[in-house]
């Protein structure tokens, strides 16, 4: 489970985030590229844009489910 106290700095403001446990596997980006991106030195992903529709939310949920380190969080849960 992602830790909201360990959010990476690049996350866009909002309920979705990536924490410091990210291993830069690229899974979230391949599933939801509109919402997740890799930081400049490719050491971790971050939320570049918060979802705005039910379809967007589902894409983020799918990305969260694919994360091998549970580094993706949703403050609404």
For 26-71, write each residue's pLDDT tens digit: 999 999 999 999 999 999 999 999 999 999 999 999 999 999 999 9
The domains of the chain are located at 9-74
The Cα 2–Cα 53 span in angstroms is 22
Q: Is the pLDDT of residue 13 over 80?
A: yes
The mean per-residue pLDDT over the stretch 11-15 comes to 97
CATH number of 9-74: 3.30.70.20
Please give the span between the terminal C-alpha atoms of the chain, in angstroms, as a whole number.
11
Looking at residue 76, its pLDDT comes to 85
* CA distances in angstroms from 74 to 38, 40, 41, 42, 58, listed in the order given: 18, 23, 24, 22, 12
> Which residue in the block uniquely carries the two structure tokens 């489970």?
1
Looking at residue 34, its pLDDT comes to 98
């Amino acid at each position: 489970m992602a830790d909201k106290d360990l959010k990476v700095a690049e996350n866009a403001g909002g309920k979705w985030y990536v924490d410091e446990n990210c291993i830069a596997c690229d899974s979230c980006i391949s599933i939801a590229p509109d919402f997740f991106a890799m930081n400049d030195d490719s050491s971790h992903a971050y939320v570049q844009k918060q979802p705005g529709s039910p379809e967007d939310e589902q894409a983020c949920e799918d990305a969260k489910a694919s994360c091998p380190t549970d580094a993706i969080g949703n403050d609404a849960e």
